[in-house]
Amino acid sequence: MCENFEQVSEAVPKAATSNPYGPNPSDFLSNVGSFQVIESTLREGEQFANAFFTTEKKIEIAKALDDFGVDYIELTSPVASEQSRSDCEAICKLGLKAKILTHIRCHMDDAKVAVETGVDGVDVVIGTSSFLRQYSHGKDMNYISKQAVEVIEFVKSKGLEIRFSSEDSFRSDLVDLLNIYKTVDKIGVNRIGIADTVGCANPRQVYELVRTLKSVISSSTEIECHFHNDTGCAIANAYTALEGGAKLIDTSVLGIGERNGITPLGALMARMIVSAPEYVKNKYKLHKIRDIENLVADAVQVNIPFNNPITGFCAFTHKAGIHAKAILANPSTYEIINPNDFGLTRYIHFANRLTGWNAIKSRVDQLNLHLSDAQCKEVTAKIKKLGDVRPLNIDDVDSIIKDFHQEVNTPAVTYKENANGDADVESISLEGPSAKKQKK
Ligand code: HCA
Ligand code: CU
């Protein structure tokens, strides 16, 4: 042993019951293992550049989301257009398990139309940042408070759920925010919402705001969070919001929404199955996620991104020889998510120069051929050699394997001359091409 080598103790794998990615005990308000989804493909998602949903498509999407198991489905405001109003009514009549919400401005005109549609609840929003107060609706915080109280009391008087949210929460003055939330909490709301409308927030800011809000609202009021993805934090922000004690996350399928959208439903499931596996597997029909994403991708004419969590074409593809070897021995070596939980399968990418003989051996087995380990190593070397020259496809590899297999299974025959001067068979061997080469 090398003199400079210092022996280190090996980490013993933790007991199967302790999940290092589960809720952190210090987050004593955490809802990581009890979160709910407000699915907004049919509201925020309608604001995606390519989106146009016919009534039939909305119904198909609503049914698919309901079947998947989302808790709420949020629909475009009925005052947005006449068709939006009648589509909202049509979806309310479907009798879905998920509660149906519509999303309105904090205005009595909108609220009066919303409560007549048959929805289970109303999500109310108003801009509170100085940007929006100055350049959008032009109202001050006193006006916002008065308006909020009137709309909330009205919606509640109709026996519907009510959520009050500030738009652009992370660029709003904290004192203003706490005041407005305290006001609406005092009169009673089911949920208060915070929205990262421009996608500027980072996970720590989210955690802090959620914890601060938790400390000023009553324990029966839940916190709902809405995160835009402009800086790529929408999934992480959703997760830390739950750690901080938020209960509900707004999602859309593939994350579609204004600009580059919000927390994607599928990606949130990827995050949450790692942290709360039993809860997620029991609550949501995870194997439906691919169909739902395809449904929405088709409807808005986009492709599923190649690097999408779960459904990206290479999400469960293992390439380098070292990875492939370990995956074949135990998939947990390089997978934190089991593709089977989503009705999917893993794939070993063996047609490339980074491949290793274990991956090739497994391909040989799939082809129902028989090669020894030494022979697999030999054919792997051939594959890598060609892989250095040009990209390979599966057919390339399969033909190299098949040619090699045929070669090693073609008997090497040697002859000797008999007394009559004719050739007699001296020996037949199946030692493979390298053996043959050596004899020459
Ligand atoms: C918008 C509004 C909103 C509302 C979010 C919410 C946002 O379209 O700008 O009601 O929670 O991102 O602020 O989607
Ligand atoms: Cu939004």
> Which residue has a Cα nearest atom 10 of ligand 1?
125
Among the bound ligands, the one closest to the CA of 129: 1
Give 304's contacts (C-beta < 8 A, 6+ positions apart).
254, 293, 294, 297, 311, 312, 313
The finding on whether 123 has its CB within 6 A of some atom of ligand 1 is yes
Instruction: Assign 3-state DSSP to the chain and report helix, strand, coil percentages, each to 5.
Output: 45, 15, 40
Q: How far is the CA of 260 from the centre of ligand 1 (A)?
A: 13
Asked if 168 contacts 198 with a C-beta cutoff of 8 angstroms, the reply is yes
The finding on whether 167 has its CB within 6 A of some atom of ligand 1 is yes
Both structure tokens of 424: 């007699």
pLDDT of residue 15: 53
Q: How far is the CA of 226 from the centre of ligand 2 (A)?
A: 7
> Which residue has a Cα nearest atom 6 of ligand 1?
195
Q: How far is the CA of 299 from the centre of ligand 1 (A)?
A: 22
- Please say if 107 is a catalytic residue: no
Q: How far is the CA of 195 from the centre of ligand 2 (A)?
A: 7
Both structure tokens of 134: 């100055």
Q: What are phi and psi of 43, to 5 degrees?
A: -130, -75
The finding on whether 318 has its CB within 6 A of some atom of ligand 1 is no
Catalytic residue among 226, 323, 370, 405: 323
3-state secondary structure (DSSP) of residue 372: coil
pLDDT of residue 330: 95
Mutate to test the pocket of ligand 1, among 180, 226, 249 (most ligand atoms within 8 A of CB): 226
Among the bound ligands, the one closest to the CA of 256: 2
Q: Position of tokens 């959008």?
A: 136
The finding on whether 258 has its CB within 6 A of some atom of ligand 1 is yes
pTM: 0.90
pLDDT of residue 432: 52
**C-alpha dist (Å) from residue 22 to 122, 283, 315:** 32, 17, 22
**C-alpha dist (Å) from residue 249 to 201, 265, 306, 396:** 15, 9, 24, 47
Q: Which helix (H) or strand (E) holds 126?
A: strand 121-127
Number of the ligand 1 atom closest to the C-alpha atom of 127? 13
Q: Provide the 10 A C-beta neighbour count for residue 205.
A: 15
CA 185 to centroid of chain Cα atoms: 33
423-429 and 412-417: which strand pairing?
A: antiparallel
In angstroms, the CA 232 to CA 9 distance is: 38
Number of the ligand 1 atom closest to the C-alpha atom of 167? 13
Mutate to test the pocket of ligand 1, among 72, 101, 167, 228 (most ligand atoms within 8 A of CB): 167
Q: How far is the CA of 165 from the centre of ligand 1 (A)?
A: 8
Asked if 427 contacts 417 with a C-beta cutoff of 8 angstroms, the reply is no
Ion ligand 2, residue ranges at CB < 5 A: 44
The finding on whether 291 has its CB within 6 A of some atom of ligand 1 is no
Number of the ligand 1 atom closest to the C-alpha atom of 47? 8
pLDDT of residue 12: 62
Asked if 119 contacts 90 with a C-beta cutoff of 8 angstroms, the reply is no
pLDDT of residue 210: 98
pLDDT of residue 431: 58
In angstroms, the CA 207 to CA 245 distance is: 8
Report, as ranges of residue numbers, the positions in the chain whose pLDDT lies below 50: 1, 434-440
Q: pLDDT tens across 142-176, in order?
A: 888 999 999 999 999 999 999 999 999 999 999 99
Mutate to test the pocket of ligand 1, among 197, 198, 230 (most ligand atoms within 8 A of CB): 197
> Which residue has a Cα nearest atom 7 of ligand 1?
197
> Which residue has a Cα nearest atom 5 of ligand 1?
195
DSSP classification of residue 422: -
In angstroms, the CA 377 to CA 332 distance is: 25
Number of the ligand 1 atom closest to the C-alpha atom of 40? 14
Strand partners, 429: 412
Domains of the chain: 30-300 (3.20.20.70), 317-407 (no CATH), 410-440 (no CATH)
